Amino acid sequence: MSLFRCPVCKEPLCREAGVYRCADGHSFDIAKEGYTYLLPPNQKHSAAPGDDKGMAAARREFLSKGYYEPLLHTLCSCFLSHSGDSPVILDTGCGEGYYTAGVYQALCAAGKAPRMAGIDISKSILRYAARRERAIEFAVASSYHLPLADGSVDLLLNCFSPLALEEFRRVLRPGGTFFYVVPAADHLWELKQVLYEKPYPNEEKETPYEGFTYEAVIPVEETVTLATQSDIHALFQMTPYYWKTPKAGAERLLALDTLKCRISFRIHVFHRD
């Protein structure tokens, strides 16, 4: 039985050869890469929602170089310390599956038997995720309409993605854990100094959310050296700055061969009440 539910009738889905199917007869093809499409037309706000092909390729290229490994390793430690022997895990806004697959593989290496699903609204980027780890279920879906049953998830990861708290509360079991990853104040500060005349720090705050209890805020800090112009551009293209940087700033960045840059994250850890 799949972790996913039918987006039409909410009944359980069974995974068969090349298709997901529910008892009411609704079926959803599995793409050759291994993901399925569970986003009804009324939940789409554009013809191709989410990250475009260029941003998807940039994220895949950048993350494959290991620059964000400090965050991945910290997340793996968090999941290992919060999971039982057979945890059910959901990654919302999973993107290319870098953190999804990394966490899954760390749990398996520790002798656990996780069941894991990842969803993202971008079909372009989910293709990469599904190729990365075949044992994880991946679906094109909205975080605001998660295709999972109430209380079916033990651990939920949200990494730089929309905060759909009502749905997160619904799918997490009581006592389940929610990991919310956000950029810290000085994340990519040196990149911003090149792009903007007057860069400003990211806002940092600890916000209590209804239905959740704070456990901790875990910092991840590192300085990385982007070794090539290609790596610098890939980082730039996978950030929101790519769409709102003045031409002069983009040209300054293009002139660089290397860039030493801080990466700084905060992992907010909550328990479901």
Query: pLDDT tens for residues 227-263?
Result: 999 999 999 999 989 988 999 999 999 999 999 999 9
Instruction: Return the percentage of the chain with pLDDT > 70, whole number.
Output: 96
Residue 61's pLDDT band, with cuts at 50, 70 and 90, is: very high
Q: What is the average per-residue pLDDT within 39-43?
A: 77
pLDDT average, residue stretch 73-84:
98
Residue 22 to residue 211: CA distance in whole angstroms: 31
Average pLDDT over all residues of the chain: 94
- pLDDT value at residue 50: 52
pLDDT at 44 over 60: no
Element holding 22 (H helix, E strand)? strand 19-22
For residues 43 and 239, the answer to whether their CB atoms sit within 8 Å is no
Q: What is the pLDDT of residue 53?
A: 78
Model's pTM, two decimal places? Answer: 0.94
Tokens 């697959």 found at: 101
Residue-range domains of the chain with CATH: 48-272 (3.40.50.150)
Instruction: Return the pLDDT at 133.
Output: 95
Mean pLDDT lowest among 2-6, 56-60, 116-120, 138-142: 56-60
Tokens 């760390």 -> residue: 106
What are the residues whose beta carbons fall under 8 Å from the beta carbon of 166, sequence distance 6 or more? 144
Q: How far apart are CA 29 and CA 131, in angstroms?
A: 16
Say what the pLDDT of residue 45 is. Answer: 54
Average pLDDT over residues 127-144: 95
- Please give the pLDDT value at position 42: 63
- Residue 46 pLDDT greater than 80, yes or no: no
In the beta sheet, which residues pair with residue 20?
Answer: 15, 28
Reduced to 3 states, what is the DSSP secondary structure of residue 79? helix
For the chain, give the percent of residues with pLDDT over 90. Answer: 88
Among all chains, which residue has been given the structure tokens 């805020």?
A: 217
Per-residue pLDDT, averaged over 16-28, amounts to 95
- Give the pLDDT score at 250: 94
Mean predicted confidence (pLDDT) in 140-154: 97
With a cut of 70, say whether residue 185 has pLDDT above it. yes
